[in-house]
Structure 1
Amino acid sequence: MALVPYDENLVPGLSKLHKSSAEFEFADHRLRLAQDWSGLGVAGVIWDAAVVLCMYLELAPVNLKGRTAIELGAGTGLVGIVATLLGGNVTITDRKPALELLRDNVKENIPSDLQGAVQVSELTWGEGLEHYPSGGYDLILGADIIYLEETFPALLRTLEHLSSMESELLLSCRIRYERDKRFLRLLESLFSVQEVHYNEQRDIHIYRAVRLKGKTEL
């Protein structure tokens, strides 16, 4: 959600983030996504949480065929692109500054016969939610979106609006700070939360959450 660049001198191993593109192979497709660190900061590059979530979607028993999915804070769009290639009807969202890069990556990596199954849309958490169907998504996806504490209330309102009792939420993240744990505790006020995967090599957790019965508001 935030377009704030890290200081490359303070964070080790960031050289790959300064490349103009990154390549992957998912869902029997070779993907090449543009990156823009200098212009978009953290929203313009691909983080490990997105890669691990794509691996999970591809290899785990997550059924995407014919399901409606939405990705929050998509950045470059890797997760939403892979979800589309795996059969989902996907809305890929981020704030306005990230949309041009996001649209370019979708256009370059989604085959023409699947372009109708994906759309790119502006979404600032907690704002304009009436433009998105309440409880209208089978699957809600987020990779590395819980790192700014000031965004937590708006993010929770957004998750509440988008989800129904039948929705499934998948969050992929690195637990860096105590505030990340606080978000998970806040999430448990509305959702039943379970860790379903941990990638030890990349230190990435994936949490699955479903709405708690009887919980309709924060």
Structure 2
Amino acid sequence: MALVPYAAGSHGALAALHCPAATFRFAGRPLRIRQRWAQLGVAAVVWDAAVVLSTFLEAGSIDLRDRHVLELGAGTGLPGIVAALLGARVTLTDRADALELLEANVRDNLPPEALPRAAVRELAWGQGLGAFPAGAFDLVLGSDIVYLEETFAALLRTLEHVCAARTLVLLACRLRYERDHRFLRLLRARFAVRELLHDAGTDVRIYEARKAARGDEL
């Protein structure tokens, strides 16, 4: 099914990017996610992939209670916020210039009892990874983070560092270009990857990845 923001009155995708906020309903709560396209560009708006991933998490096929979750390239933070509302302990990460908006969205949308379960931290892929314990996360989330080819090597290094054998990675993305398929090929060289979901209305796909055991057929 197609997935759309909670509030009515959409004026098209382009207009939605320039709205100061996007509204949704997840985990029984209305959410108002601030956006700052003019100041921060692609990191500061809610993309379809984030909505599709959040809806997948809410569906409950993964038990998030007390799970340690890392969101990479969190941007406005919607999937990480939804994971925290569903009981996870979430670390939402992005570049330094995106953190102020990300922190505001976490603060605005989590009730007091859930705020201690969410932390916002700077993470530039491939850099300062020692500040994040190796293999410490049960679940790693990424929505629309596969689009710049020059970031692929650093993203893969980051995934290899933060993932243990038990870690599940969920990547939600729309495969627009050949370079996006190239990233999946690079990922499959290191992880066992399968497609979990294709949302026909948005053409967003969710991929599951786990560190490949030696001798796995990829």
Aligned residue number for residue 141 of structure 1:
141
Distance 1:142 1:179 in 2: 17
Give the number of aligned pairs.
Answer: 204
- Structure 2 letter corresponding to 1:210: R
Q: Mark the runs of 5 or more structure 2 residues left unpaired by the alignment.
A: 1-11
Distance 2:53 2:62 in 1: 11
Aligned residue number for residue 190 of structure 2:
190
Aligned residue number for residue 103 of structure 1:
103
Aligned residue number for residue 26 of structure 2:
26
**By how many angstroms is 1:13 displaced?**
2.9
Aligned residue number for residue 73 of structure 1:
73
Q: Show CA shifts across 1:71-107 (max 9, x none).
A: 0000001010001001100000000000000000000
- Structure 1 letter corresponding to 2:190: L
Indicate the SS of the match to 1:62.
coil
Distance 1:52 1:184 in 2: 19
Alignment of 1:76-91 (within 5 A): 76-91=76-91
Q: Does 1:161 align with 2:180?
A: no
Q: Does 1:52 align with 2:68?
A: no
Indicate the SS of the match to 1:61.
coil
Aligned residue number for residue 181 of structure 2:
181
Two-structure CA RMSD over aligned residues (Å): 1.0
Distance 2:34 2:13 in 1: 19
Q: Does 1:41 align with 2:44?
A: no
Q: Show CA shifts across 1:145-166 (max 9, x none).
A: 0100000000000000000000
- Structure 2 letter corresponding to 1:166: R
Q: Show CA shifts across 1:140-188 (max 9, x none).
A: 0000001000000000000000000000000000000000000000001
Indicate the SS of the match to 1:164.
strand
**By how many angstroms is 1:60 displaced?**
4.4
Alignment of 1:112-123 (within 5 A): 112-123=112-123
- Structure 1 letter corresponding to 2:162: L
| TM-score of the two chains, using structure 1 as the length reference | 0.92
Distance 1:206 1:26 in 2: 18
Aligned residue number for residue 9 of structure 1:
none
- Structure 2 letter corresponding to 1:130: G
Indicate the SS of the match to 1:186.
helix
Aligned residue number for residue 206 of structure 1:
206
| TM-score of the two chains, using structure 2 as the length reference | 0.92
- Structure 2 letter corresponding to 1:180: D
